[in-house]
Chain A
Amino acid sequence: MNRATIGLLVKHEMRMLLRDRRTVVLSILLPLVVLPLILFGFKFMSEWRSEQLDATTYRYAVTGAYADSVRALIGRGARLAEKDAEEGRQPASFVEVEVAEPDSSLSAGDLDFYLVTQTGAEADLLDLAVAGTDSAMRADAEIDRAGEDIADVTVADERYPGVPVVTVYFRANRDESRTGSGLLVDRLVDARKQDRTDELRRRGFAADPEEAIELSRVDVATPEQAAGFYFGRILPLFLVFLTLTGASVAAMDSVAGEKERGSLETLLTTSVSRFEIITAKQLTILSVALFITLAQAGNLFVYLALGFIEFSADLEIDVSPGAVLVLLALYVPVAVVVSSLLLLVSAYAKTYRETQLYLLPVFFGLMILTAAGLLPGVSLRSLIAVVPVANVSVAVREIMVGHYDIPMLLVTCAAMLAAAFMMLRLSSRMLGMERLITAQDTDAADLEGGAALFPRRVLLWFVGMWALIIIAPANVEALTRLEGQWAFNMFVIFFGGSLLMIRLHRLDWRQALALRPVRPQVWLAVLLLVPSTLLTGIFIVGLSSVFLPFPEEMLEKFASQLIPEDFPMWQILLMLALTPGIVEEMAFRGLLLHGLHRRLRPLALILVVGLIFGLFHQALFRIIPTAYLGMVLTAVAVLTGSILPCILLHAGNNAFAFLLYRSGTEVENWPPELLLLNIPVFVFAIYLLYRYRTPYPGLLPFRKKVPEDA
């Protein structure tokens, strides 16, 4: 590596960057201006909100037979609040409003909240009426009565007979309602406590019951350590966020921008090596990241000094110069890793726009790693020391409380630099990947669109389908029930999605769905595979549970949800065997395999299609068995070139599993040797498929070597 050449390249990169107004404005000037604006805005909003709430008179209503007693209690609470109020500050004010329908008044905004009261006798009667149900269910009954969908219900754990009940109804989506109801409940609690104390004294209790035991907590940490613990958790998040935002614009332009403009190819024909190009680009991004982070941090200190941001008075930050040096020494590897990662993304993407698409998951991924410092009980003296970014996050937290684990800090730095170096090598290799540096092939597919573009779009389709499967049931009640979920997944997602892909990409449906006839021997192999795939799968799951155990109750609960006892057999077979057998095979071994078969070599193809199939089965413990089944099914499709045997195998496997479950056969408890005996049948069936194979058309060769000219 030639240092002079790298210097020349860095100078060139910097010149290009600084001459790009868009980059300068977006990554340097804008954040410098926007940050104080945001901080000022927050400060203003927070003060304004506080003033508004202070000036608010909360409107409430009280209903029920116990209302008068509650009113008296509120009055006593108000007097206590006045007595305890900070000097110069008025306690919150409340006014009772007469309304006919508190529910509708609360909805209309005429009330901020209302209290429903019951005498002890009334509450006892209601308890009898809903006997057998617990207090939470009683609350549900109340909610149903009100015809409201209330998200947050807090009910006392247990009620003694004869104790009156007060329920406060409020709306958490309204500031006044949430705050006012909270303040009033606090007052009621204070008043009730005072009543209790008075009562105890009246009955001869000598001391203040609050002081029956003198209880105190003593924090032996210094204020600096307490503040360090607080800031140590936030600091890495803050720095990684700044580094990411600062470096991303420079990184996007760095390689992807050059690809788009066509100047990368010019650079690649010079006598500079690819690693030198990448190193220079990395140094440029790193310099920009460091500069922007330091500028932003300096900016922040200025606003701290100006009073835009105020810390709580009891937070004393006292970091020694040594600690600052160690923190800086740790921050540099973070900046190196972040800029290397961004460079890698830029090198992988073909266009500026594509880089923007990849940045979001990278951003979230890094922030999740950085959040490791928030995890309680995680120490640097653990495996976390070799997890890039997460290790620095934990290390910063420890340093901020004065704990220096020097050997582990060295391990952290080494892990970070190793990760950065690996990413640089990878980025450099990407400049050698023809698909990524020459735009012609992509352009052809882009221009042609439709079927030519499908291989590059297929994964996006499946990500969309997966997201819908996850999101829809959480928002549509009908989809939480088994039938609704089944109909939605099978007919809307898989069947509808498959048809949509065929239609929008103008695919030949016979080819895309791989509806090809197969040799008769294949059917025999599939019949052997039906039981042997399931039994081998159970064996594999048994093995995997050694490493990834799941509670037995959870598995049983899931099985009972998936296979309800009250459903007739034909309905279960239709829902769990026949329909998924057809529809899921159309989607996974049909379209997904069709889309990926020229992108991945057969072995990778089987693994990836199987894994994606597994990921669609959501629950963590189902991923291993379903991914295994997916791989077997994909192997069958690859060997036979058709989804027809896959349909039989998939439906047969599911039906067999259900029949075993219904008959009460607990295969999981069979001795492993018995399950092992099944493996030769499985292997023989696969051999039959291989022997009479009619491979999926257009598959890539198994190995990388390209065949000689035809």
Chain B
Amino acid sequence: MAEPVFVKDLTKTYYDESRGPVHAVRQIGFDCRPGEIFGLLGANGAGKTTTLRMLTTILKPTAGTAKIMGYDVAEEPVEVRRRLGFYSATTALYPRLSARETIEFFARINGYPASGTPARVDELIERFGIGEYARTRIDKLSSGMKQKVAIARTVAHDPPILVFDEPTVGLDVLNALEMQGILAELKAQGKTILFSTHIMSEAEKLCDRIAIIHEGRILACGTLESLRERTGAHYLEDVFVSCITEVS
């Protein structure tokens, strides 16, 4: 069986009218194993979002290979998207749909069988505690409620791979903790989760393996223990700083 996520020499260079050529991602490589949470840890502008956008086929790689369940992101984007759910702060919901309609729409549009959709929607509404406002329009919901609907729509078609781009950004402590709980639960369901963060404690707590990304390059990749061994530092913050200092 193909690896859930396989990335090799992935590169993204784009031209910005004001800045000229920008090397956002430089020949990175990693893979995700089935059922693990793999974290991309890096500061803002390190290349995390660009990497995830390439894996979810929003952006085209400039060079290199990336495969999801054996499907190439550049060659078979539709097959790739069928097998993953993407959650990001920038992927907004439709304001004029209700929570139920949103989950239903995304389940159907991603190929979930029509006959099973109502039951699936009910299940997700119950799991995420959306029941009270399931028939309320999205533009009338609070940001915490919207976040739950957004996660529900991400997993609506029950994809094997989930990509979360900075899922806790902008959330208060309680909502952030709830999000962490959801990620752990999804892992327990056997999903492979690739998620990006700049919050060390979050990566430390959730990830089976971590890739430290800086200025578009992966500086280190492995379990927390292996990273500690490599750098001789105990806390992830120190590991992170040590990796960056090493290259600069």
Q: Quick check: B58 and A598 within 8 Å, CB to CB? A: no
Chain A: minimal CB distance from B50 (Å): 10
Interface SS of A by simple majority = helix
Q: Is B106 an interface residue (CB 8 A)?
A: yes
Q: Mark B40-68, 1 if CB is under 8 A from A, else 0.
A: 00000000000001001111101100000
B-contacting residues, A236-273, CB 8 Å: 261-263, 265-273
Q: Is B26 an interface residue (CB 8 A)?
A: yes
Q: Is A405 an interface residue (CB 8 A)?
A: no
Known: A599-B17, A706-B13. A269 touches B92 (CB 8 A): no
Q: Is B105 an interface residue (CB 8 A)?
A: yes
Q: Quick check: B57 and A269 within 8 Å, CB to CB? A: yes
Known: A269-B57, A455-B17, A455-B18. A261 touches B92 (CB 8 A): yes
Chain B: minimal CB distance from A617 (Å): 28
Q: Give chain B residues whose Cβ lies under 8 Å from the Cβ of A269.
A: 56-58, 81, 84, 86, 91
Q: Quick check: B93 and A266 within 8 Å, CB to CB? A: yes
Chain B: minimal CB distance from A438 (Å): 7
**How many angstroms from the CA of A454 to the CA of B59 in the assembled complex?**
25
Q: Quick check: A452 and B18 within 8 Å, CB to CB? A: yes
Chain A: minimal CB distance from B188 (Å): 24
**How many angstroms from the CA of A698 to the CA of B88 in the assembled complex?**
34
**How many angstroms from the CA of A448 to the CA of B18 in the assembled complex?**
10
**How many angstroms from the CA of A266 to the CA of B89 in the assembled complex?**
10
Q: Quick check: A263 and B18 within 8 Å, CB to CB? A: no
Chain A: minimal CB distance from B65 (Å): 16
Q: Is B220 an interface residue (CB 8 A)?
A: no
Q: Give chain A residues whose Cβ lies under 8 Å from the Cβ of B26.
A: 709
Q: Quick check: B94 and A270 within 8 Å, CB to CB? A: no
Closest-by-CB residue of A relative to B109 is: A270
Q: Is A456 an interface residue (CB 8 A)?
A: yes
**How many angstroms from the CA of A707 to the CA of B62 in the assembled complex?**
10
Closest-by-CB residue of A relative to B25 is: A709
Known: A432-B60, A598-B20. A266 touches B13 (CB 8 A): no
The listed residue with most B CB atoms (<10 A of its CB), out of A5, A269, A707, is: A269
Q: Quick check: A5 and B109 within 8 Å, CB to CB? A: yes
Q: Is B27 an interface residue (CB 8 A)?
A: yes
Q: Give chain B residues whose Cβ lies under 8 Å from the Cβ of A330.
A: none
Q: Give chain A residues whose Cβ lies under 8 Å from the Cβ of B17.
A: 445, 455-456, 598-599
Q: Quick check: A266 and B92 within 8 Å, CB to CB? A: yes
Q: Give chain B residues whose Cβ lies under 8 Å from the Cβ of A700.
A: 15
Q: Mark B14-33, 1 if CB is under 8 A from A, else 0.
A: 11111111010011000000
Q: Is B96 an interface residue (CB 8 A)?
A: yes
**How many angstroms from the CA of A434 to the CA of B59 in the assembled complex?**
6
Q: Is B170 an interface residue (CB 8 A)?
A: no
Chain B: minimal CB distance from A606 (Å): 18
Q: Quick check: A270 and B58 within 8 Å, CB to CB? A: no
Q: Is B111 an interface residue (CB 8 A)?
A: yes
Q: Is B120 an interface residue (CB 8 A)?
A: no
Closest-by-CB residue of B relative to A454 is: B18
**How many angstroms from the CA of A273 to the CA of B90 in the assembled complex?**
20
Q: Give chain B residues whose Cβ lies under 8 Å from the Cβ of A19.
A: 96
Closest-by-CB residue of A relative to B27 is: A709
CB < 8 Å neighbour of A445 from B18, B23, B56: B18
**How many angstroms from the CA of A261 to the CA of B139 in the assembled complex?**
11
Q: Which chain A residues have a beta carbon within 8 Å of chain B's beta carbons?
A: 5, 8-9, 12, 15-16, 19-20, 261-263, 265-273, 432, 434, 437-441, 445, 448, 451-456, 598-599, 698, 700, 706-710
Can you pick out 13 interface pairs between chain A and chain B where the beta carbons lie within 8 Å of each other?
A261-B92, A262-B90, A262-B91, A262-B92, A263-B91, A267-B109, A269-B56, A270-B106, A272-B109, A445-B17, A455-B17, A706-B63, A710-B23
Top 7 A-B pairs ranked by shortest CB distance?
A262-B92, A452-B18, A271-B82, A455-B17, A266-B91, A269-B86, A19-B96
List 12 extra interface pairs beyond A268-B58, A598-B17, CB under 8 A: A12-B109, A265-B88, A265-B91, A267-B109, A269-B57, A269-B86, A270-B106, A270-B109, A598-B15, A598-B18, A598-B20, A709-B13
